[in-house]
Structure 1
């Protein structure tokens, strides 16, 4: 079966989007939603990048963590901006959206020889200042939207956990969970020795390709994997082996038999980008 063609629409509804967590220069949390499309990434590298910035003008519009309270209204404005570009038929692509520091910033890559034909009046929102800005600091942008190894692993964890929850799993309930690693045998032995001190026990070896399965009794909600995944990735990198994923069973209330489910193989930046807000 041939692979589906890349989604080259403005909005990327059929593309994969991933969520990243970042911190601003003032240590406020940022939620970054990024489009995973190598064709569009290459297009943006060679062309222009523009952002629509929605700045909250009053403190009561923002929660204690710096996130705008009415996110659904901002998402509606984002959808309206995408619809405007789609109707105009210009070569432009939504690449990312960042929320935090009292802002929602929506990025569009586009051909360098065009100005994006937004109707800014239609994108206005009570209580928010709306600006259209050119993104000149590509290094800061890339640092914001480029997934790290840990980002990708945590995103895979979230997908598996969501699948477990869909089957009625009690994610906070501890149960036997297996973790898979591959590499040279001596390196894997060193890894197993280190992780034994953290409660991971040898379950079995894999012969082809050479690998090891470690096991631990743990919860499998996302709170648990915020600690587990960084821990295992760092250990795997120290020993020069690959951490390949995890698997466990669905644990339901009163479930008589475990159902095996594999997670195996889930294989202020803003101020740097635009400078301080000017009144």
Structure 2
């Protein structure tokens, strides 16, 4: 069985071309993922280290360095053309490695929109940061760029620009579970029983939710009161037969997530079995 709550805790690097800073066993390694949102009908691509905000280093490195790179060749939606991606990856890796070496900076993510790509680093030391950026980017003279450094003790850039919303996080977690099923040999074509778990603040909220989703074909497997769960002690275990390709299960999951919020509940993921 594979649960959303278990899979989403795994530290996976899901994007090829992202180079994590090489560190010793005591240093923050990162939990990288990516997502896409749309602003003014155009895509925004975000790659982020989901664990940085809760890491010990986040408490120490309170200056943000933002490098903005103007992408040379973009599609009509503002995203880089495929032929430019390898060069952009080289720039990204070069910045991450060099700033780690000279400023002990942690690379926390990137933000791509409208032909621009912003790289975010956090560090205690910002001395000569412009020269350090120039050292890397002088090898890529066809690109124009700007850089800024400022105090960010509250991690505002990381939390408000890079870090996903709860809904975006749900999309990402669904993709992780589906990818894991695929890697284990599941063709993702056969419908099968999928079980879901939701927790509520009140028993009445749980009952109202259960009545609503039963109209959509969900079956209540179990309802109980979880010991040790303070804010949402009323649990609900439901199931339905569904497809588990990403588009199908993502619609189901988001429906349950949004419906649970209406009744002060928290959707806690789904599980199923591999069908080969």
TM-score (norm 1): 0.73
Q: Which residue of 2 aligns with 1:104?
A: 117
Gapped regions of structure 1 (runs ≥ 5): 1-9, 253-279
Equivalent positions of 1:77-92 (< 5 A) are: 77-88=91-102, 90-92=103-105
Q: Which residue of 2 aligns with 1:33?
A: 47
- For the pair 1:51 / 2:51, whether they are aligned, the reply is no
- For the pair 1:133 / 2:145, whether they are aligned, the reply is no
> In 2, distance between residues paired with 1:221 and 1:12?
34
**Are the equivalent residues in 2 in contact too, given 1:22–1:144 (CA < 8 A)?**
no
**Distance apart, 1:23 and its partner CA:** 3.0
**Are the equivalent residues in 1 in contact too, given 2:111–2:162 (CA < 8 A)?**
no
Q: Which residue of 1 aligns with 2:271?
A: 247
**Are the equivalent residues in 1 in contact too, given 2:100–2:106 (CA < 8 A)?**
no
Equivalent positions of 1:112-191 (< 5 A) are: 114-116=127-129, 117-120=131-134, 122-123=136-137, 124-125=139-140, 127-134=142-149, 142-183=159-200, 184-191=202-209
**Distance apart, 1:63 and its partner CA:** 2.4
SS at 1:250's partner residue? coil
Q: Which residue of 2 aligns with 1:223?
A: 247
Distance verdict in 2 for CA 1:227–1:136, change over 3 Å: farther
Distance verdict in 2 for CA 1:86–1:139, change over 3 Å: closer
- For the pair 1:94 / 2:104, whether they are aligned, the reply is no
Gapped regions of structure 2 (runs ≥ 5): 1-19, 24-28, 228-233
Distance verdict in 2 for CA 1:218–1:109, change over 3 Å: same
> In 1, distance between residues paired with 2:255 and 2:150?
35
Q: CA RMSD in A?
A: 2.7
Distance verdict in 2 for CA 1:134–1:119, change over 3 Å: closer
TM-score (norm 2): 0.74
**Are the equivalent residues in 2 in contact too, given 1:56–1:127 (CA < 8 A)?**
no
Count how many residue pairs are aligned between Structure 1 and Structure 2: 236
Q: Which residue of 1 aligns with 2:11?
A: none
